[in-house]
Structures are given as structure tokens and as C-alpha cells.
């Protein structure tokens, strides 16, 4: 079988030009010229103020289009976390936020959502120069998710309540749902604003206060969001942001004696450290949203073009830096050859290049570490005997661009079938029967999500119930909404982001029991 060669870098070669107008990329499409925003906020945000770190140290945050430093950002560590926790503690123990009515908290959260919407383009551009995300897609999709999420939980803020319980004898009982207290949020770089909102919105709704530790790769949009939070009227100390590294600032949060809960999104490896630190300190509540190696199972009976498009987006969206990427594609034998041909044909319409260009589909990987990691996995796939259908190489001299890469003849025990690559790499495998599909789909330590493409209702039902994962998409992929619970099985973690269930991570249940009339001991 012949496949097209991968000549698909259509945009001009990537060049970083902080502060300049990128006309060559945008004018041909009649799209308004995008000016890379000035980076306004680079300090820690504690108790409503932007402040330097106690040590005075800073670190360079880089643009993945070139690898160049775009801004020096305050490097917070344990001492700064201590100060931020004190501010959050004070705001929780004595401040007005937890004591306001849920309705009033909701109104402030709605204002915050409006401000994020108004500044969506600037936020999207900051994410692009930090994470290599596509500006237009981030604006349309990530910003919209974030604002919807805040609005969803704003509406929930005045609907948090306990239950009255049935008691035997002369007693009555009810439960209270109370905010857990000071929450530490440690987030990664692939969806900074989305994850900020997914964590901040339910935390704000419950009346908790919080400290965010953005990833060292992508602090800029989170600092901007902190500024907007203050503008919206969220009281000082309720949202604090400590920029810095994981083993210092992150670990100081997960091991802090005065942090009541920690909510982490990132690698399984660090998730274990966070849980260990919580156990070794004050047994704070832990929730973890970790990696994935999600299967997409494609049956013979589906429209082949729909299957190819779904698989393509499942793997290559956000350059594969997605915890729910459908990186294991299982195709039933009847359509296998045709699928290979069509999926490889797709390469010629896929543009890799500068994420500010609205014609581009795939920007650079986030940093050198991830770039090297993805290329190492591609080498391991070749070494272990998988067939490289297309791609496999870095693009250009500068920046972290990688060709969309497709492997076939992938065996279940190969690293590219087992490990989370977190890059634009598709592994395709063949199956015969539904039983084999279920067994292979479950052959992973992860359990975040899975996709099933079939027109047979019985097959869809059976496979949905047989895959051990927190989310299943039937005849679609990666559809997420604030109202739909999102979380993992197995080593993908536990606890729900999104859905009303997300509130539970930030609430404690208290039972109150009283005699109906007199004390029984009178
Ligand atoms: P990571 O798990 O090291 O980083 C995530 C966050 O945890 C960052 O804010 C980081 O500073 C913080 N962190 C790191 N070490 C810590 C520690 N000891 N204590 C507390 N916080 C700590 O992820 P990394 O190194 O950026 O990426 C490695 C791999 O992790 C990726 O290739 C991918 O496979 C996976 N990953 C999964 C994500 C997801 O969405 N589930 C997001 C990012 C990475
Ligand atoms: Mg790491």
C-alpha cells in the first residue's frame, strides 16, 4: 500500500516576535491582525496583591515556537506558599466570602465569567506564547468552556444543602454541607484556563479559599485570571497564585499542614507524590486527575470518513497534549485497510505551524522536555517493530514542532501502546471480535476515557459497560461540558472535575442530631 509523503508544513516558518504584529500570517485570511499581548503580570498574587517572591528569584517562561524566554516570572517556594496559605486561611476563617449567601457569591462568579469573556483574546494569546496552543481555538473553545463552567457553578452556589434524615425513636437528624476550607490547586500546562476554571468555579461556589500553583511552563494566563478575579470583586485572599516549580512550590502546597484539600491535575507519577505528601502531613482531602491512554474502538459498521475524522481529532487535537487523547486506535479487520489509507491521506490537509495563524491546525509541543519525550517514544516504536506510516520527525530548526505521526502493526506490549506519549502520535491496532476489542481496550493501567464508534446499539451498550474508564463517548469523542462529571478509573485518578459532583471535592458533610422533644436522659 502506498501512502502520501508528509509535506505539510504550509505556514511560514515559525518565528517569535514578542510585541510585533504577525501580519504575514493573518492578513491573507482577512482576519484582524493579532498583536502579541504585552505581558503585564509576572509576580505572585497573594492576598489581592502582585508581589515578588521572598527570595527575589525569578524564572524564564518560554515561547514554544522558538524556545526563547518571553518573560521572567516570580519563582515562589515554601516561604511564599506559607504566606499565601495564611492569607487564604484568614479569608476562610474570618473573611466574608464563605459567609456571603450562595446567591451573592454566584453573582460575583458571574461577573468573573463576563470579564474572562471580554478578555478572551488576550488570555488565548498568553496561552499560545506559553503552551503553543492555537489562539483561535483557545478563544473559541477553552475560553468558552471556562466561562460556561463559572456560570454553571455560579448557579449552583445557592443550591448547596444537606438533607433531613430518617431517625429511629425520638431523634431528628440533618446534614450540613460545609466548605472544606483552604484548597490547593496544582495544575498543568495543556489547558491552563480550562483547568483553572474547572477547579476555581466549584471551589468558589462552595465558599472555600484557594492557592493555585500553575505549571512552570504556563503561568501567564493564570496570573491574568487572578487580576480579573480581583476586578470582578472576589475578595482578597480567596484566590492566590504561586508561580514556581513543582518540587518546591507544588510540594509545599501538598504537604502544608494548613491546607485542607488538594486537587491535582498532571502526571500519575506526581499524583502519587501529592497523595504521599498529603498522607505524610495532615491527611488533607486529595483528588487526582492524571494521565490516560484512551482507546477508540472502531467497528466495521461505521461510516469510514466519520471514523477517520473522529480518530484524527481524538489524537491530534491540541498536538496530542490531552489527557483524554484517543491515542490507541482499535480498528475492526473489515475496514482496517481502508482506514489506514484514509487516515494517512488526511495528513496532507493538516497544517503544522505558528499557533497564531488561523489556518494552522497544530502548534509546537509545550517545551523541550515534552518534545524530546515524544521523539523518544517515536524512536521506541520504530525500534520495537511497529510500522511508521507517516511522520516521525521534528519540523524546522527552531521551536518544538513534530509531524503528525502514525504507527500501525502496534503490539499490545509496546511502549507506544502502553505509555502516555502526550504528543501527536497515533497507534493503530486491529481486532476481530467484540470480546477481543473489550479485552484490548482494558489492557492499560489507565482508565480516564474511551470512545466507541458503531451503529449497533447492542455493541455500543455492551462495550460502554465493559470498559473501565470514567467517560465513554459513543459516535463522538472529547465532548466535555461543565455539567458532565469528568474523572478517572484505575491509575487515571479519582474525584470529579465538572458536574455537580465536583462540588463534593470541596465540601464536608456534617451530621447534626437532636432529640425531637426532651433529652432522653432527663
Ligand atoms: P507534572 O505532573 O510534573 O506537572 C503537573 C503540575 O504538577 C505542574 O504544576 C508541576 O509544577 C507540578 N508538580 C511537579 N512536581 C510536583 C511535586 N513533587 N509536588 C507537587 N506538584 C508538583 O507533569 P509534566 O512533567 O509537566 O509532564 C509529564 C507528563 O505528565 C506528560 O508527558 C503527560 O504524560 C503527563 N501530564 C498529564 C496531564 C493531564 O492532563 N492529566 C497534564 C500534564 C502532564
Ligand atoms: Mg514533571
8 Å CB contact between 347 and 8: yes
Rounded-to-integer distance, Cα 328 and Cα 436, Å: 14
Q: Ligand 1, residues 59, 188, 277, 286: which to mutate, most atoms within 8 A of Cβ?
A: 188
The hierarchical CATH code for the domain 295-474 is: 3.40.309.10
Q: What are the beta bridge partners of residue 494?
A: 288
Of the CA atoms within 13 Å of residue 284, those in its CB half-sphere come to 28
**CATH topology match: 48-290+494-507 vs 295-474:** no
Question: Quick one: pLDDT at residue 450?
Answer: 98
Rounded-to-integer distance, Cα 448 and Cα 491, Å: 8
CA of 407 to the centre of ligand 2 (A): 26
- Highest CATH level, class, for 48-290+494-507: alpha beta
8 Å CB contact between 240 and 482: no
Q: Cα 187 from chain centroid?
A: 8
CA of 264 to the centre of ligand 1 (A): 9
Is 289 a catalytic site residue? yes
Collapsing DSSP states into helix, strand and coil, what is residue 508? strand
Collapsing DSSP states into helix, strand and coil, what is residue 322? coil
Q: Which three cell numbers stand for residue 496?
A: 470529579
In order of 258, 444, 458, 471, the CA distances from 477 in angstroms are: 40, 19, 19, 10
Residue closest via CA to ligand 1's atom 35 equals 267
Rounded-to-integer distance, Cα 303 and Cα 129, Å: 38
Q: Which of 221, 262, 232, 263 is nearest to 129 (CA)?
A: 221
Question: Quick one: pLDDT at residue 33?
Answer: 53
Is 323 a catalytic site residue? yes
Residue ranges per structural domain of the chain: 48-290+494-507, 295-474
Rounded-to-integer distance, Cα 415 and Cα 436, Å: 20
Question: Quick one: pLDDT at residue 36?
Answer: 75
SS3 content of the chain, % helix, strand, coil (to 5): 40, 20, 40
Q: Following DSSP, what letter does each residue of 302-317 receive, concatenated? A: S-HHHHHHHHHHHHHG
In order of 60, 92, 162, 465, 503, the CA distances from 165 in angstroms are: 55, 29, 9, 33, 21
8 Å CB contact between 473 and 451: yes
Cβ neighbors of 141 (< 8 A, separation 6 or more) are none
* Residue ranges in the chain whose pLDDT is less than 50: 1-32
For 445, the enclosing helix (H) or strand (E) is none
Rounded to 5 degrees, φ, ψ at 141 are -100, -55
CA of 267 to the centre of ligand 2 (A): 7
Active-site residue, from 75, 289, 321, 504: 289
Active-site residue, from 75, 208, 323, 504: 323
How many beta carbons lie within 10 A of that of residue 484, not counting itself? 12
Rounded-to-integer distance, Cα 256 and Cα 444, Å: 33
Question: Quick one: pLDDT at residue 32?
Answer: 44
Question: Quick one: pLDDT at residue 3?
Answer: 40
Rounded-to-integer distance, Cα 329 and Cα 156, Å: 38
Of the CA atoms within 13 Å of residue 135, those in its CB half-sphere come to 25
Cβ neighbourhood burial of 383 (10 Å; 0-12, 13-18, 19+): exposed
Helices (H), 170-240: 192-206, 220-232
Q: Which residues line ligand 1 at a C-beta cut-off of 6 Å? A: 186-188, 190, 213, 215-216, 245-247, 250-251, 254, 265-267, 270, 273-274, 289-291, 323, 370, 373, 420, 422
Q: Which of 67, 184, 196, 186 is nearest to 138 (CA)?
A: 196
Q: Is the dihedral of CA 225, 231, 233, 239 positive or negative?
A: positive
Q: Ligand 1, residues 132, 221, 267, 415: which to mutate, most atoms within 8 A of Cβ?
A: 267
Nearest ligand, CA of residue 268?
1
Question: Quick one: pLDDT at residue 34?
Answer: 61
8 Å CB contact between 427 and 328: yes
Q: Which three cell numbers stand for residue 73?
A: 516570572
Amino acid at each position: 500500500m502506498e501512502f502520501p509523503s508528509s509535506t505539510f508544513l504550509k505556514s511560514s516558518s515559525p518565528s517569535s516576535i514578542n510585541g510585533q504584529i504577525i501580519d504575514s500570517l493573518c492578513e491573507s485570511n482577512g482576519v484582524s491582525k493579532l498583536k502579541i499581548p504585552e505581558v503585564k503580570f509576572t509576580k505572585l498574587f497573594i492576598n489581592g496583591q502582585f508581589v515578588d517572591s521572598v527570595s527575589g528569584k525569578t524564572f524564564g517562561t518560554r515561547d514554544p515556537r522558538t524556545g526563547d524566554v518571553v518573560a521572567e516570572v516570580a519563582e515562589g517556594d515554601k516561604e511564599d506558599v506559607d504566606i499565601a496559605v495564611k492569607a487564604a486561611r484568614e479569608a476562610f476563617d474570618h473573611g466574608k466570602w464563605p459567609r456571603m449567601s450562595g446567591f451573592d457569591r454566584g453573582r460575583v462568579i458571574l461577573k468573573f465569567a463576563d470579564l474572562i469573556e471580554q478578555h478572551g483574546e488576550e488570555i488565548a494569546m498568553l496561552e499560545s506564547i506559553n503552551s503553543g496552543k492555537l489562539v483561535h481555538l483557545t478563544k473559541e473553545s477553552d475560553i468558552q468552556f471556562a466561562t460556561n463552567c463559572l456560570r454553571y457553578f455560579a448557579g449552583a452556589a445557592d443550591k448547596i444543602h444537606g438533607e433531613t434524615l430518617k431517625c429511629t425513636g425520638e431523634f431528628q437528624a440533618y446534614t450540613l454541607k460545609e466548605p472544606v476550607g483552604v484548597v490547593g490547586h496544582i495544575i498543568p500546562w495543556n489547558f491552563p484556563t480550562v483547568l483553572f476554571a474547572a477547579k476555581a468555579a466549584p471551589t468558589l461556589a462552595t465558599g472555600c479559599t484557594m492557592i493555585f500553583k500553575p505549571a512552570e511552563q504556563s503561568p501567564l494566563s493564570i496570573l491574568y485570571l487572578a487580576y480579573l478575579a480581583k476586578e470582578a470583586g472576589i475578595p482578597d485572599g480567596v484566590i492566590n497564585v504561586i508561580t514556581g516549580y513543582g518540587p518546591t512550590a507544588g510540594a509545599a502546597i501538598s504537604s502544608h499542614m494548613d491546607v485542607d484539600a488538594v486537587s491535582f491535575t498532571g502526571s500519575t507519577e506526581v499524583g502519587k507524590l501529592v497523595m504521599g505528601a498529603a498522607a505524610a502531613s495532615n491527611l488533607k482531602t486529595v483528588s487526582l486527575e492524571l494521565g490516560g491512554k484512551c482507546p477508540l474502538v472502531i467497528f466495521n459498521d461505521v461510516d469510514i470518513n466519520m471514523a477517520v475524522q473522529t480518530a484524527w481529532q481524538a489524537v491530534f487535537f491540541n498536538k496530542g497534549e490531552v489527557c483524554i487523547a484517543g491515542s490507541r486506535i482499535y480498528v475492526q479487520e473489515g475496514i482496517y485497510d481502508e482506514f489506514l489509507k484514509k487516515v494517512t491521506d488526511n495528513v496532507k490537509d493538516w497544517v503544522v505551524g505558528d499557533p497564531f495563524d488561523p489556518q494552522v491546525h497544530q502548534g509546537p509541543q509545550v517545551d523541550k522536555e515534552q518534545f524530546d519525550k515524544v521523539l523518544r517514544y517515536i524512536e521506541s516504536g520504530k525500534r520495537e517493530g511497529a510500522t511508521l506510516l507517516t511522520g516521525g520527525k521534528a519540523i524546522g530548526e527552531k521551536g518544538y514542532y513534530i509531524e503528525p505521526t502514525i504507527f500501525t502493526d502496534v503490539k499490545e506490549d509496546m511502549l507506544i501502546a502502553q505509555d502516555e506519549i502526550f504528543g501527536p502520535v497515533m497507534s493503530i491496532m486491529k481486532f476481530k471480535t467484540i470480546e477481543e476489542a473489550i479485552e484490548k481496550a482494558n489492557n492499560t493501567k489507565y482508565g480516564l476515557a474511551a470512545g466507541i464508534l458503531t451503529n449497533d446499539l447492542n455493541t455500543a451498550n455492551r462495550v460502554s459497560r465493559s470498559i473501565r474508564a470514567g467517560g465513554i463517548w459513543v459516535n463522538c469523542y472529547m465532548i466535555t461540558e461543565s455539567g458532565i462529571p469528568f474523572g478517572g478509573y484505575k491509575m487515571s485518578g479519582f474525584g470529579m472535575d465538572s458536574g455537580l459532583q465536583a462540588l463534593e471535592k470541596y465540601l464536608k458533610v456534617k451530621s447534626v442530631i437532636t432529640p425531637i422533644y426532651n433529652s432522653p436522659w432527663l
